[in-house]
């Protein structure tokens, strides 16, 4: 058994400490572990060139046009035969920039290896920080956008309000929770994948796919959706409380299921066709935008 740990936080910081606790627990149960620090890698943001999606639309293999460490990292954490634990700090109520780069750059590897959408390997999530206890950080929700496409998530935890390096060491319960998360990953690895279940904490109203507790009102109450999985539910009153009844079909085929992603790719292909069918029109209309603007930049080397 092998478990890869990815930390996108500070080297030696709270995210890395909790991740190491989880990996140590995995090792005590016989697993081999590896730790990757995103901050030690050359990771550059997606430029939106669309070369990967255009390649897929032409029936070719997707490849990123940027020459950095992201392809190596993504192939390792997505394709390698290992469980994955990802630990991410919260910056301004959401994951930090290193995680966002990784998430934005995943498309070439995902599109070239659609079998990963079957989620035949397991993973877990550690999120750190988020401000006051009553705040609603979006970190777990946004990490699930990445993880729900490549892993069967068996556990996730949020540690709130640990901003200073090493501050998490003042809370033994958080360290033990991380160890429990590691043990849960190993226990899941020992099961047939179709028997793996989510064993982390969740609320009664949580999405049955990503197990987050944030919902979107799309068309109007009582209908609600999970903004990550696009599972559909309806708020109903049972006795003296309101609950969400989730639609079984959308739970079976959420946004990041194999069917959901392949259906979305067909939509992308149709959109590309519409674009190329109207390319001459776009070239005529775009001229005024290409010529407009007083572009300003900082003066380099100025003292």
pLDDT at 295 over 80: yes
What is the 8-class DSSP label of residue 298? P
Q: Give pLDDT tens digits for 224-270.
A: 999 999 999 999 999 989 999 999 999 999 999 999 998 988 888 88
With a cut of 70, say whether residue 3 has pLDDT above it.
yes
Lowest-pLDDT choice from 8-22, 128-142, 175-189: 128-142
Taking the domain 2-201, which CATH number applies?
Answer: 3.40.50.360
Q: How does pLDDT run across 30-52, given as a tens digit for each residue?
A: 999 999 999 999 999 999 998 88
> What is the percentage of the chain residues whose pLDDT exceeds 70?
98
Query: Is residue 303's pLDDT more than 60?
Result: no
What CA–CA distance (Å, rounded) separates 39 from 101?
11
* DSSP 8-state symbol, 114: G
Residue 127 has pLDDT above 60, yes or no: yes
Average pLDDT over residues 78-103: 96
User: 76 pLDDT band (50/70/90 cuts)?
Assistant: very high
Q: Give the mean model confidence (pLDDT) for residues 116-126.
A: 97
Q: What is the mean pLDDT of the chain?
A: 93
Indicate the pLDDT class of residue 129, thresholds 50, 70 and 90.
confident
Contact 189, 1 (CB under 8 A): yes
Distance CA 1, CA 180 (A): 17
Residues 176-234: pLDDT tens digits? 999 999 999 999 999 999 999 999 999 999 999 999 999 999 889 999 999 999 999 99
Mean pLDDT of 164-179: 91
**pLDDT average, residue stretch 146-155:** 97
Q: pLDDT value at position 84?
A: 98
Q: For tokens 């090792």, what's the residue?
A: 27
More confident residue, 133 or 65: 65
Q: Up-side HSE of residue 10: CA atoms within 13 Å toward CB? A: 13
- Cα–Cα distance, 194 to 199 (Å, whole number): 14
Contact 156, 206 (CB under 8 A): no
In which band, very low, low, confident or very high, does the pLDDT at 130 lie, cut at 50, 70 and 90? low
* pLDDT category of residue 281 using cuts at 50, 70 and 90: very high
Domain boundaries, the chain: 2-201
pTM > 0.85: yes or no: yes
| DSSP-H helix ranges across the chain | 14-28, 51-57, 70-79, 97-104, 107-112, 139-150, 172-189, 248-252, 258-277, 279-285, 287-291
């Amino acid at each position: 058994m092998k478990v890869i740990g990815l930390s996108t936080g500070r080297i030696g910081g709270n995210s890395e400490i909790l991740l190491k606790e989880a990996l140590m627990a995995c090792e005590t149960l016989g697993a081999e572990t590896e730790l990757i620090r995103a901050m030690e890698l050359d990771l550059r943001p997606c430029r939106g060139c669309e070369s990967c999606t255009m390649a897929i639309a032409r029936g070719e293999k997707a490849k990123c046009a940027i020459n950095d460490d992201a392809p190596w990292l993504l192939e390792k954490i997505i394709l390698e035969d290992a469980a994955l634990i990802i630990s991410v700090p919260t910056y301004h109520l959401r994951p930090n920039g290193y995680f966002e780069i990784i998430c934005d750059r995943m498309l070439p590897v995902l599109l070239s290896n659609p079998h990963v959408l079957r989620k035949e390997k397991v993973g877990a999530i550690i999120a750190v920080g988020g401000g006051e206890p009553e705040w609603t950080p979006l970190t777990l929700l946004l990490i699930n956008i990445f993880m729900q496409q490549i892993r069967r998530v068996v556990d996730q935890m949020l540690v709130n309000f640990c901003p200073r390096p090493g501050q998490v060491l003042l809370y033994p319960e958080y360290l033990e929770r991380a160890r429990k998360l590691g043990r849960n990953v190993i226990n899941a690895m020992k099961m047939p994948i179709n028997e793996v279940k989510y064993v982390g904490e969740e609320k009664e109203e949580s999405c049955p796919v990503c197990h987050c507790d944030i919902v979107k009102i799309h068309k109007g109450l009582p209908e609600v959706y999970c903004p990550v999985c696009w599972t559909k539910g309806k708020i109903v009153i049972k006795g003296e409380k309101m609950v969400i009844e989730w639609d079984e079909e959308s739970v079976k085929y959420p946004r990041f299921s194999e069917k959901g992603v392949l259906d979305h790719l067909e939509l992308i292909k149709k959109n590309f066709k519409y674009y190329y069918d109207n390319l001459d029109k776009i070239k005529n209309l775009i001229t005024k935008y290409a010529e407009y603007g007083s572009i300003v930049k900082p003066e380099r080397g100025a003292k």
